[in-house]
């Protein structure tokens, strides 16, 4: 035996700790090392070999939520109790499903109570009815309480020509442009068409959970449709029981000749290599427009992990976000968006939104096929698009 005594106080204690979800790694050691990639390492990989980084991230993402082996290591009686808790959770989810369906039915019930208010708003906006003296007085009180300097209810001796204006001109255009996300989608060309927008309505579906957004337009030079609509159908989650967007179907717009806002004409000048003669080539290409909102976008196959499929999924997600904005905020509180008050209580700022929203939503390929005309002609620096020649200014809040 060693003459040196054992220092019990300083000896490291070997404590056997039972495996728990907290101390059991989700992945085995080799994968855990890969999972803990630092941001610096990821940046270096992205610069040196982006394909390798993408492959590594894809592999690791499939392991999220994988079993650590902890549950399987428990004694059989304990695992049976765990299974019972799973059963209780399933019962909880079934109750949640009923709760969310009842909430949805409650929304439908109260939509009927809101309907007369929306009808009255539409009549005043369109100029088919005038406010009563009582309505004017109550409106003036609210404007005064909110210290709204733009309120003109108490003004006298206005220009007679201005007094002859019916309704509230460009009400919905101003309302939509006050919403930061929608302002990014509305182009200068779109504005002329949206000026004809008379009303936006919400209608709940009767046979299944879902709703329809209806955009009513006056007769206009852009399209023949009197109403553009988009229908959203909910699906109920088996996990939480809540209602989630399942599908969306839009209206096919009947564009009038030379007024299709979903396309633009690009004009290019090309010079022949041999004869040096110049010709003008025109082609129609997709254009950014608010009216892309009404397109029906097909959900990609769940196993499709291509870049195009990811962009399509992003577009669908943004579409659902906009639908929710129309349903929960814009239609119920249109006047607050018209005046800009909604920006205050929603805590929104147009500067917080950047061009990524438009890039994701429009799903437009900006890469030009420059090889298309190389056999016949030469790009001589004169090529330009009609849009580039007259780039519209960025939309601003009203």
Angstrom distance (rounded) from CA 279 to CA 284:
17
Angstrom distance (rounded) from CA 329 to CA 337:
9
Which pLDDT score, from 0 to 100, does residue 128 have? 95
Structure tokens belonging to residue 218: 């006056």
Which pLDDT score, from 0 to 100, does residue 45 have? 59
Which pLDDT score, from 0 to 100, does residue 156 have? 54
Residues 184 and 353: beta-carbon distance below 8 Å: yes
Length of the chain, in residues: 398
Q: List phi, psi (to 5°) of 218.
A: -75, 165
b/e sequence 332-358, b meaning 16+ C-beta within 10 Å:
eebebbbbeebbeeeebebeeeeeeeb
CB-count burial class (<10 Å; 0-12, 13-18, 19+) for 393 = exposed
CB atoms within 10 A of CB 1: 5
Angstrom distance (rounded) from CA 348 to CA 352:
8
- In tens, the pLDDT along 132-188 reads 999 999 999 998 888 765 555 445 555 655 678 899 999 999 999 999 999 999 999
Q: List phi, psi (to 5°) of 315.
A: -65, -40
Closest by CA to 296, choosing from 231, 348, 352, is: 231
Angstrom distance (rounded) from CA 54 to CA 46:
8
Which pLDDT score, from 0 to 100, does residue 369 have? 47
Which pLDDT score, from 0 to 100, does residue 94 have? 93
Under-70 pLDDT residues of the chain: 1-47, 49-66, 148-162, 348-398
pTM score, two decimals?
0.68
| DSSP tag of 39 | H
Degrees, nearest 5: CA angle 251-202-127: 95
Which pLDDT score, from 0 to 100, does residue 55 have? 66
Which pLDDT score, from 0 to 100, does residue 52 have? 67
């Amino acid at each position: 035996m060693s003459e040196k005594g054992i220092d019990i106080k300083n000896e490291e204690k070997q404590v056997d700790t039972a495996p728990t979800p907290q101390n059991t790694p989700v992945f085995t050691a080799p994968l855990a090392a890969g999972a803990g990639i630092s941001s610096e390492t990821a940046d270096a990989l992205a610069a040196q070999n982006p394909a390798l980084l993408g492959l590594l991230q894809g592999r690791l993402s499939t392991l999220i939520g994988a079993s650590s082996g902890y549950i399987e290591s428990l004694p059989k009686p304990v695992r049976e109790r765990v299974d019972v808790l799973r059963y209780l959770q399933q019962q909880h989810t079934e109750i949640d499903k009923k709760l969310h369906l009842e909430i949805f039915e409650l929304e439908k019930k109260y939509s009927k109570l809101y309907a007369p208010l929306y009808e009255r708003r539409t009549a005043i906006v369109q100029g088919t009815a005038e406010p009563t003296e009582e309505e004017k007085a109550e409106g003036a009180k609210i404007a005064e309480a909110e210290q709204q300097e733009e309120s003109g209810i108490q003004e006298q001796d206005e220009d007679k020509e201005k007094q002859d204006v019916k309704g509230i001109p460009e009400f919905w255009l101003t309302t939509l442009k006050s919403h930061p996300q929608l302002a990014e989608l509305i182009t200068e060309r779109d504005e002329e068409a949206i000026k004809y927008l008379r009303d936006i309505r919400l209608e709940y579906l009767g046979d299944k959970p879902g709703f329809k957004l209806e955009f009513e337009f006056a007769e206009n030079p852009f399209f023949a449709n009197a109403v553009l609509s988009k229908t959203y159908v909910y699906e109920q989650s088996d996990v939480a029981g809540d209602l989630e967007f399942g599908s969306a179907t839009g209206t096919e717009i009947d564009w009038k000749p030379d007024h299709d806002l979903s396309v633009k004409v690009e004009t290019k000048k090309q010079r022949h290599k041999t004869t040096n003669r110049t010709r003008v080539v025109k082609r129609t290409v997709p254009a950014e427009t608010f009216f892309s909102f009404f397109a029906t976008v097909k959900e990609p196959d769940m196993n499709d992990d291509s870049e195009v499929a990811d962009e399509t999924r992003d577009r669908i997600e943004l579409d659902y976000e906009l639908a929710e904005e129309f349903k929960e905020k814009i239609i119920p509180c249109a006047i607050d968006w018209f005046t800009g008050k909604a920006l205050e209580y929603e805590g929104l700022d147009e500067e917080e939104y950047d061009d990524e929203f438009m890039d994701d939503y429009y799903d437009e390929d900006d890469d030009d096929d420059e090889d298309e005309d190389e056999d016949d002609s030469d790009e001589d620096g004169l090529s330009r698009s009609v849009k580039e020649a007259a780039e519209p200014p960025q939309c601003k809040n009203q």
